[in-house]
Amino acid sequence: MDTLQFWLNDRRIEVTGVNGTTTLLRYLRDHLAATGTKEGCAEGDCGACTVALLEERPGETPTYRAVNSCLLFLPMLQGKRVYTVEGLRDRSRSPDDPEGYHPAQLAMVETRGSQCGYCTPGIVMSLFEATYRDDMGADWQVDDQLCGNLCRCTGYKPIREAGEKVAGLRPDDLFKATMEQYRARDAAVDITARDGLDGMQRYIQPTSFEALWQARAENPGAVLVAGGTDLGLRVTKFREHFPVVIGLEGLAELREIERSPMGWQIGAGVSLTRVMEVVGEELPALHKMLRWFGSRQVRSRATLGGNLVNASPIGDMPPVLAALGAEIELRGSNGTRHVDIEDFFTGYRKTCLEGDEIVAVVHIPNVPRNAFCASYKVSKRRELDISAVAAGMYVELDDAGVVRHIRLAYGGMSAVAASRARRTEAALLGHSWTRENIEAAMPMVDADFLPIADHRASARYRSTVARNLLLGFWLESHRRDRDAFDAHPVGTVRPGGVA
Ligand SMILES: Cc1cc2nc3c(=O)[nH]c(=O)nc-3n(C[C@H](O)[C@H](O)[C@H](O)COP(=O)(O)OP(=O)(O)OC[C@H]3O[C@@H](n4cnc5c(N)ncnc54)[C@H](O)[C@@H]3O)c2cc1C
Ligand code: FES
Ligand code: FES
């Protein structure tokens, strides 16, 4: 289909001819004069550009997701419904309210959550998502909902209070009715436009693997995009030009999550927010890392596939996935193959992907009852920050408390994502899981890695943290009754402290 069609505040928008990497934010402001949505950083860090997308959740009621419009390429919206702050004050939507303001807007007025007002539309859209969420039970969730929105003048207390007022309110309004009736439409699109500076630009969004292989064969230099939270920056910040972009958004199979007796199979295109919702309770180590990953808006677009293929040595998901013993399913026109997550990374920002292969599924095996897994992220800020050091750790003991399997995977300690501390592991394997043995093994971490020094941390700091995280892991594993070692350590999912 060469026409892009989406719904903006319930109005159908048709676009013929648009650069594939035009962001929704630019389109709203430059083409539709919808300037309620603000631009702050254009890189996902401030939340001023937050809008809400209506998203399907297989087997559950669809839901609104707050996302950063500065990182969303317009053609990704094919067939979708998007809401901006202009769409909230619609009298017909709130018949009981004479002014027609949405509860999220009213809450911000009541708590005096706005001063200069620049951040306010973005905050209101984050609160709009919170209003219709059906999982707002815990205290940390309001903070988490707002962690992608910066405000430089008001102070966060009144804004948080506004969040508490509306979280999970789910009023019986037209937004709720629209949400409940929502069915996703065909996401196929193939749209081309002239880029003022660089010539033609094409965006193709196939909806089947056959169409994907064909598009890749016809466009060998094309780049893939999933959530766009990495690729988007290459456009908005580094001004890169991509003549052909192929979107993975339309491949429904990549967005499936399944539970088998062996473990979890998570489609590479599932958003990280969805991963948290579905597998978080069973895999607290994964949930905990995701809690500190970017922001709510970033996670609602970012995917596991994108994080793995990015292969950044400071990417947060590789260490915890390596600790969990994940296997990656790759799919290409020549068939499917499975690789261990550690064999997936072959060097600095390098992976073993060949030809037209993509990452299709991440397989995570069950965590046995006599095993314990945890994750750690050490960064200057708790939220919206890059790790100085990240780690995923797994230990499995026999009945005598002797280490039967151990995986200590680190990020930020070498050029390769998810590097294993092999010497330290060897020093612990076959020995009792005691503090004495841990302390004896800790210096081995220095033999495993020669970390770099950069603006995030010195090499010495990284080494010290990496050693201490091992002790922290041992302490955490003993926080509960030793004999009850299982996959649900008390307090693993919690805000605060070393994440
Ligand atoms: C504000 C902000 C905060 C962030 N915070 C964090 C953080 O805390 N921790 C962290 O680790 N990262 C963070 N990131 C980086 C980014 O969000 C993640 O790497 C994310 O997982 C990328 O997923 P994506 O789907 O958006 O990738 P995209 O941008 O769509 O793609 C990234 C790369 O992967 C390729 N790709 C994507 N999916 C596939 C696939 N299935 N098969 C083959 N190739 C594929 C694309 O071609 C592209 O080269 C942050 C980014 C931003 C903007
Ligand atoms: S403009 Fe700052 S997050 Fe989009
Ligand atoms: S009210 Fe001024 S930035 Fe938030």
What residue owns the CA closest to ligand 1's atom 47?
224
Domain boundaries for CATH 3.30.465.10 within the chain = 253-365
Per-residue pLDDT at 17: 82
Q: What is the DSSP letter of 425?
A: H
Per-residue pLDDT at 382: 86
Q: Answer whether CATH 3.30.1300.10 is correct for domain 4-181.
A: no
Domain boundaries for CATH 3.30.390.50 within the chain = 371-484
Q: Which atom of ligand 2 is nearest to the CA of 47?
A: 3
Q: Is 44 in the pocket of ligand 1 (CB under 6 A)?
A: yes
What residue owns the CA closest to ligand 2's atom 3?
44
User: How would CATH label the architecture of 253-365?
Assistant: 2-Layer Sandwich (3.30)
Do the Cβ atoms of 308 and 344 come closer than 8 Å? yes
Per-residue pLDDT at 138: 87
Per-residue pLDDT at 97: 63
User: How would CATH label the architecture of 371-484?
Assistant: 2-Layer Sandwich (3.30)
Please state which CATH class domain 189-252 belongs to. Answer: alpha beta
Q: Is 118 in the pocket of ligand 3 (CB under 6 A)?
A: yes
Phi, psi (deg, nearest 5) at residue 351 = -130, 170
Do the Cβ atoms of 78 and 187 come closer than 8 Å? yes
Do the Cβ atoms of 414 and 394 come closer than 8 Å? no
Residues 6+ apart with CB under 8 A from 481: none
Q: Which atom of ligand 3 is nearest to the CA of 113?
A: 1
- Within 13 A of 108's CA, how many CA atoms are on the CB side? 22
| pTM (two decimals) | 0.94
Q: Is 465 in the pocket of ligand 1 (CB under 6 A)?
A: no
**Cα 24 to averaged position of ligand 2 atoms, centre (Å):** 11
d(CA 91, CA 145): 26
Domain boundaries for CATH 3.10.20.30 within the chain = 4-181
What residue owns the CA closest to ligand 3's atom 4?
151
Domain boundaries for CATH 3.30.43.10 within the chain = 189-252
Per-residue pLDDT of the chain (499 residues; tens, 9 = 90+): 789 999 999 999 999 888 889 999 999 999 999 999 999 999 999 999 999 999 999 889 999 999 999 999 999 999 999 999 999 987 666 666 666 899 999 999 999 999 999 999 999 999 999 999 999 988 899 999 999 999 999 999 999 999 999 999 999 999 999 999 999 888 999 998 876 666 778 999 999 999 999 999 999 999 999 999 999 999 999 989 899 999 999 999 999 999 999 999 999 999 999 999 999 999 999 999 999 999 999 999 999 999 999 999 999 999 999 999 999 999 999 999 999 999 999 999 999 999 999 999 999 999 999 999 999 999 998 889 999 999 999 999 999 999 999 999 999 999 999 999 999 999 999 999 999 999 999 999 999 999 988 888 999 999 999 999 999 999 999 885 444 444 333 333 333 333 3
Q: Which atom of ligand 3 is nearest to the CA of 116?
A: 2
d(CA 397, CA 404): 5
Do the Cβ atoms of 224 and 246 come closer than 8 Å? yes
Residues in the chain: 499
**Cα 48 to averaged position of ligand 3 atoms, centre (Å):** 10
Q: Which ligand is nearest to the CA of 292?
A: 1
d(CA 76, CA 23): 10
Q: In testing the pocket of ligand 1, which one of 45, 212, 224 has its CB within 8 Å of the most ligand atoms? A: 224
Per-residue pLDDT at 67: 98
Per-residue pLDDT at 373: 97
- Greatest C-alpha distance within the chain: 71
Q: In testing the pocket of ligand 3, which one of 85, 120, 125 has its CB within 8 Å of the most ligand atoms? A: 120
Q: Is 115 in the pocket of ligand 3 (CB under 6 A)?
A: yes
What residue owns the CA closest to ligand 3's atom 2?
116
Q: In testing the pocket of ligand 1, which one of 147, 307, 375 has its CB within 8 Å of the most ligand atoms? A: 307
**Cα 46 to averaged position of ligand 2 atoms, centre (Å):** 5
Q: Is 15 in the pocket of ligand 2 (CB under 6 A)?
A: no
Per-residue pLDDT at 489: 37
Q: Which ligand is nearest to the CA of 158?
A: 3
Q: Which atom of ligand 3 is nearest to the CA of 117?
A: 1
Q: Is 402 in the pocket of ligand 3 (CB under 6 A)?
A: no
For residue 338, the surrounding DSSP H or E stretch is strand 335-340
